[in-house]
Amino acid sequence: MKDFAKLVYNLDQTTKTNKKIGLLVSFFKNASDKDKLWCIALFSGRRPKRLISTGYLREWAGEATKLPTWLIEDTYTVVGDLAETISLLIPEKSETSSKNLSSWISELRQLENQSLEDKRSFVFGAWSTLNRQECFVFNKLITGGFRLGVSQKLTLKALSQITSIDEFDLSLRLMGNWHPDTETWNSLIVNDDRKSDISRPYPFCLAYALDKSSDDLGHTSEWIAEWKWDGIRGQIIKREKKLFVWSRGEENLTERFPELEELINFIPDGSVLDGELVAWNGDQPLNFNSLQKRIGRKKVSKSLIESVPVILIAYDLLEFKGKDIRSQKFNLRRSKLEKLINNTPKNLPIKLSEKIEHKTWNDLKLIRETSRSRKAEGIMLKHVDSDYSNGRKRGNWWKWKLDPLTIDGVLIYAQAGHGRRANLFTDYTFAVWDGSQLVPFTKAYSGLKDEEFRQITSWVKKNTIQKFGPVRQVPPELVFEIAFEGIHESTRHKSGVALRFPRMLRWRHDKTPRDADKLEDLRAFLT
């Protein structure tokens, strides 16, 4: 555990890319094969099953430290992370356990069928034999994943350095359903024995947000324009007469979208299609809120399938006749995709992503302005010669989204943030006018500069009206412009609406509370 805990600590102490890669390389060179696998698994979200609730951990931390519950809770509010909070409160140890990472994980997983008292004894024993860094990692294994700013790209670069295997190949080896229990270092990394896994998806190609004028992209003939739909990214895989559906988050969604099973009889073997999974009714998409009803359920009822049918809007072909064609030019892959889909019946839950015909960039700008009426987020631009890269490759694909919708709201509640912003009030509730009453309509916590958060924090402390646990009510005096991507009806909110991706665009020093928008202004975005 010492080496992995040291790695986690050192990664958290630097923002330099090369330094992080060097730390990962050093760990992979010296760690056991099993520890290397678990390191990759943990950094990619494959953590052990949670066997102990955070409520019990809070209680046991109080027993171990002899501190009152209120003090532990207040400390947690400041620190912002329970695993770190407990590691800071547990007395530091001078001599620690020599067990490695995989041994600790193995012992932790053996607790599944044991009594609560046995779990308590194990946790207390761990806390008494681990130093602060190790204790933090141990607590993380129980409570959650490792969000350390270690991207998959950095991990791939480090693995490539020690194995001399191309990053492009490594990224494929780490896709799909694998686990340290079922793989070895050699089978997963060195030999790629997972070629036999017929469900394995490809790493997704991603787009950069367009940050320059479209006129700077060259002639329009060099680009294919498509609608950017508000769904979830997915790959449909057909191999050996079996069909699989994978999300960008590397989750197998096959059972959640049973209507897509119909494609198995029409998509040829050895095919992998990339596209957007969208709730679709008739000839138009439904909003993302409808799709969410499907995403969150592993078992989907017949009535939900009928009310929220899902289709794949396909826009790329990654594998054809069993051959990986990602290195081919996009227009060639697109041509093969068009032929494949045109040879399938029209009533299947699949549509070819529409090419947006245009002659000039100005034409496309005007078409883009109609996105919301089509229930699209904007336009995708894909270079005709682009390959299908792993992750983002600047200049290949661009997402050209519409400017966000905006509304002016009044700050009415504030709450402290987490992590490095735990000492600042950064989480806000905003309201709009409904007659003479202010009605809360959204929460937001991002979009402002640190200096602005500090100024607002000072104001909140001086102007608090009431406290509700960590939440403070403040007088309705500060106005903010709130940006959001979409809006839909909601019975769960007092305003009757819910916003998609709300964030603060700016602090409106130039406006008084009475200048804030009305509920009717907000609801007007629904039409």
Report yes or no: 487 and 405 within 8 Å, Cβ to Cβ: yes
Residue 122 DSSP SS3: helix
**Structure-token pair, residue 226:** 């498509």
Phi, psi of 15 (to 5 degrees): -110, 0
Residues 522 and 519: their CA atoms lie apart, in Å, by 5
- Inter-CA distances, 408 with 92, 427, 478, Å: 49, 17, 10
Instruction: Reply yes or no on whether 228 is catalytic.
Output: yes
Q: Residue 209, class by beta-carbon neighbours within 10 Å (0-12 exposed, 13-18 middle, 19+ buried)?
A: exposed
Residue 97: φ, ψ to 5°? -65, 150
- Residues near 259 by Cβ (< 8 Å), separated by ≥ 6? 305, 309, 310, 349
C-alpha dihedral (70, 76, 78, 80), degrees to nearest 10: -160
**Nearest of 502, 498, 483, 479 to residue 405 by alpha carbon:** 483
* E strand or H helix at 415: strand 405-416
How far lies 83's CA from each of 43, 419, 522, in Å? 16, 12, 40
Measured from the Cβ of residue 338, the count of other Cβ atoms closer than 10 Å reads: 15
Task: Round to the nearest angstrom and report the end-to-end CA distance of the chain.
Answer: 56
Residue-level length of the chain: 527
Contacts of 88 (CB under 8 A, 6+ apart): 75, 79, 132
Please spell the DSSP secondary structure of 240-269, one letter per residue: TTEEEEEETTS-B-GGG-GGGGGGGGTSPS
List 119, 157, 228, 351, catalytic entry: 228
The residues that are catalytic are 228
